[in-house]
């Protein structure tokens, strides 16, 4: 098994972190899936990755340049399963959530109020376009194509993103947004789901739709599977990212998908 992707696959902020440059956890969903199905795992996920840094562009993390993830793909065809979770950074999804949350925090303080307002307005004013969605979809489909060039018979699962802002999420300390901003984030999440659906339709991959599965587990729900905003937290990389419970839910969905398709 090989795992490719960004922080929603790498498990940013979830202990234990086994690669601090990649912010990769030993409790991310690829590790949990591999353990459940008895697979040998090559996990090259990196927090902050885009479809381009998975395919061909080195990723800068601090002073380091990390090679494209596909360069670490096993050099033989003996790969049965590949999971891919990427595209969120292509659409600036998590970056927008975090920037607006911190802008709200700055606005609440007289000394930084004006700075926070300007940052907030600038971030919300540039949502992803339909062209951005199509480009992200093409990036995902290109990853699938590159995988099959190396391992023609391998099974590729596109695993999309857990819901962060659910249909009933309201402004709160964990989600310090206006109702208008919440709608912006729901729209971006919908665009990300669209990109995955387009990639599935244009490639030989299967979609594991954890976004739909987790709609009732967003921020403000009785059982959120993602971390809310906590500006003074020592685990800043985990803000708005999956919790361990969320990773377990994603792993369960992937294992169930593998089993259900195998039984057809």
**197-245 pLDDT, tens digit each:** 999 999 999 999 999 999 999 999 999 999 999 876 656 678 999 999 9
- Which residue has better confidence, 119 or 178? 178
Encoded tokens for 185:
């984030």
Query: What is the per-residue burial (b if ≥16 Cβ within 10 Å, else e) of 13-51?
Result: bbeebbbeebbbbbbbbbbbbbeebeeebbbbbbbbbbb
Average pLDDT over residues 38-63: 95
Chain centre distance of CA 38 = 24
Give φ, ψ of 61 to 5 degrees.
-125, 105
Which pLDDT does position 262 carry in this prediction? 61
- Angle at CA 168, nearest 5°, toward 164 and 174? 50
Does pLDDT of 150 surpass 90?
yes
Mean pLDDT of the chain: 91
- pTM given for the model: 0.92
Phi-psi region of 220 (alpha: psi -120 to 50; beta: other; left: phi over 0): left
Place of tokens 């387009």: 198
Burial of 219 from C-beta contacts in 10 A (0-12 / 13-18 / 19+):
buried
Average pLDDT over residues 143-155: 95
Strands 206-208 and 155-159: parallel
CA distance 70 to 49: 12
CB-based contacts of 140: which residues, under 8 Å, 6+ apart? 51, 84, 86, 87, 158, 195, 196, 199, 203, 205
CA distance 12 to 27: 10
Please tell me whether the peptide bond between 16 and the residue prior to it is cis, using omega within 30 degrees of 0.
Answer: yes
Dihedral angle sign, alpha carbons of residues 66, 71, 73, 74: negative
Which pLDDT does position 264 carry in this prediction? 45
């Amino acid at each position: 098994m090989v795992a490719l992707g960004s922080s929603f696959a790498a498990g940013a902020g979830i202990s234990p972190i086994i690669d601090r440059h990649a912010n990769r956890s030993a409790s991310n969903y690829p590790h949990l899936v591999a353990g459940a199905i008895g697979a040998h795992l090559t996990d090259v996920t990196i927090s902050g990755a885009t479809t381009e840094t998975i395919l061909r562009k080195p990723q800068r993390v601090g002073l380091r340049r990390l090679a494209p993830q596909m360069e670490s793909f096993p050099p033989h065809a003996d790969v049965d399963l590949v999971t891919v979770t990427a595209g969120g950074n292509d659409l600036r999804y998590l970056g927008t959530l975090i920037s607006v949350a911190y802008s709200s925090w700055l606005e609440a303080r007289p000394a930084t109020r004006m700075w926070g307002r300007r940052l907030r307005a600038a971030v919300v004013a540039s949502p992803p376009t339909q062209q951005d969605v199509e480009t992200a979809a093409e990036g995902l489909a290109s990853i699938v194509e590159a995988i099959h060039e190396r391992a023609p018979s391998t099974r590729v699962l596109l695993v999309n993103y857990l819901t962060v802002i659910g249909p009933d999420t309201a402004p709160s300390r964990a989600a310090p947004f206006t109702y208008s901003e919440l709608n912006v984030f729901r729209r971006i999440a919908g665009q990300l789901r669209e990109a995955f659906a387009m990639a599935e339709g244009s490639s030989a991959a299967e979609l594991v739709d954890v976004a739909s599965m987790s709609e009732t587990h967003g921020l403000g729900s009785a059982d959120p599977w993602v971390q809310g905003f906590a500006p003074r937290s020592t685990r800043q990389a985990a803000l708005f990212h999956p919790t361990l419970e969320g990773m377990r839910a994603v792993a369960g969905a992937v294992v169930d998908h593998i089993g259900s398709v195998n039984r057809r």
